[in-house]
Structure 1
Amino acid sequence: MKVSEAIATRRSIRAFTDQPVDRAIVTRVLEQAQRAPSGGNVQPWNAVMLTGEPMQALFARVAGEFPKGRAALAPEYNIYPPELDGAYEARRFGVGEDMYAAMGIAREDKAQRLQWFARNFQAFGAPVLMLVHTPKYMGPPQWSDIGMWMQTVMLLLREEGLDSCPQEAWAAYSPQVREMVDIPEDHIFFCGMAIGYRDADAPVNNFPVKRAPLDEAIRWDGF
């Protein structure tokens, strides 16, 4: 698979099959991803890979907290900036509305929307969940490195025929994640990533995800 094909076919998959994922494939992907760019070769990424009983135990722990609503949420950072507005907020709102529309869930159907949101904390049925963390003293440049590493992982997964969904939603339940998973106290818990094989027929995996035209993001000088 060409890099361009991996980019074109990668998307945040929110419905996975129950097909198991071979550890050898994930190991190969992670070994190759160690070549991701890193300023000063710091390589600030760290992760815990979950499957089987440990993963199900985490799911059960968070499910017990879900009925508490917002009272149970304790992210270690702002998942979205409080000041998010304009085109940025419109894009965020728009993709959610497009997703629910693809599944036939009306805007006023709060119960079904909440039920679907809970699927985040079952990794959308994926058999593997990666939990990403980094030392608390790392700054924006190192967080950028982590993003480039995660993108590298996701593209390499596509080369292997696998799919993924990066999930910052897991950060909302950081205390519960720490209770169930060994993440160092001096590290910040960043996000999860669901890994598995996509359900190709699921509507949630097939709606078009809009992207801004190039001239909204790029300015050309001297060309």
Structure 2
Amino acid sequence: MNVSQAMQERRSVRAFLPRVPSSQDVQSLIADAAKAASGGNLQPWRVIALTGEPLAQLTNAVSAAQPMEDNVVPHMAYPPSLWEPYRTRRFKNGEDLYKTIDIPREDKTARLEQMAKNGLFFGAPVGVIMLVDERMGYAQWVDLGIYLQSFMLLATERGMATCAQGYWRRFRDTVEQVLEVPDSYRVAYGIALGFEDVNAPINDLRADRAEFSDWAQVRGFA
């Protein structure tokens, strides 16, 4: 599989097989993704991968914890009062997701139960937590995004599946305590990692993309 194929195949997977990737495969994935571009070669990422009992300790602690309020969580998943066209895109994506598992909009309980599966890494056998020094700035968060994309594309190339999760920032205090994160480091995001359950209806979701002309311009070409 080449890079173009991985770009086409990669998607957010929310149901996984119990099969656990080998330690060597996980370590090489984390290391190889670090070839990602990084301004000034700061390489601001710090990565912790968990499986087995360490993973259970984290998910159990988060399931018993209260999330932090949005107004005290830096780098919220979305800006408040999201505007168009972004509001409609987010809404449609959510509706399309819940359609795959037959949860109507009015069934708030079922939707909350599905949301809570974030805290279990959607059943993935490996949970990855990405950290960043809180003294870093906007440019270094861009670097984290480049690392994340590199990680997910490499995982796809190697037959694995992922789901990037901003969810973990809302439980950063619990995560940082359980993982004994060094002072000044904060949770940036989580990544569910494993092998896709291709028979799970929720994995049928294929998020659409805006028309090219809505967001791109190409100037000066013949």
| Alignment TM-score, normalising by the size of structure 1 | 0.94
Q: 1: distance between equivalents of 2:101 and 2:178?
A: 32
Match for residue 41 of structure 1?
Answer: 41
Cα distance between partner residues in 2 of 1:160 and 1:113:
32
**Structure 1 residue ranges, 4+ long, deviating more than 4 angstroms after superposition:** 68-74
Per the TM alignment, residue 135 of structure 1 is displaced from its structure 2 partner at its CA by 1.0
Distance 2:108 2:41 in 1: 46
Q: Secondary structure of 1:15's match?
A: coil
Q: CA deviation at 1:70?
A: 6.9
1:138 aligns with 2:139: no
Matched residue SS, 1:86 = coil
RMSD: 1.7
Closer, same or farther: CA 206–137 of 1 in aligned 2, 3 Å: same
Q: Structure 2 vs 1, CA of residues 141 and 18 (structure 1 numbering), >3 Å: closer, same or farther?
A: same
Partner of 1:16: 16
Instruction: Check 1:8–1:132 CA distance in 2 against 1; reply closer, same or farther (3 A cut).
Output: same
> How big is the shift at 1:139?
1.2
Report the alpha carbon displacement of residue 72 of structure 1 after superposing the two structures with TM.
Answer: 10
**SS, match of residue 183 in structure 1:** coil
Query: Which of 97, 106, 109 is the aligned partner of 1:108?
Result: 106
2:165 paired with 1:172: no
Correspondence for 1:181: 179
Alignment of 1:4-153 (within 5 A): 4-65=4-65, 75-153=73-151
- Alpha-carbon distance in 2 for matches of 1:97, 1:72: 22
Q: List runs of 5+ in structure 2 lacking aligned partners.
A: none
Residues 1:52 and 1:72: Cα distance change in structure 2 (over 3 Å): farther
Give the % identical residues: 37
Q: After the TM superposition, which of the residue ranges 8-17 and 78-87 deviates more from structure 2?
A: 78-87
The alpha-carbon deviation at position 10 of structure 1 amounts to 0.6
Superimposed CA distance per residue, residues 58-102 of structure 1 (whole angstroms, 9 cap, x where no aligned partner):
11111112xx57769963432211142101121111101100011
In 2: Cα distance, 1:207 partner to 1:28 partner: 29
For the residue of structure 1 that corresponds to 2:64, the secondary structure is: helix
Equivalences, count: 221
The counterpart of 2:209, out of the listed 202, 207, 211, is: 211
For the residue of structure 1 that corresponds to 2:193, the secondary structure is: strand
CA distance in 2, matches of 1:49, 1:32: 14
Q: State the AA in 1 paired with 2:25.
A: I
Deviation at 1:4, TM superposition (A): 1.0
Q: Structure 1, unaligned stretches of length 5 or more?
A: none
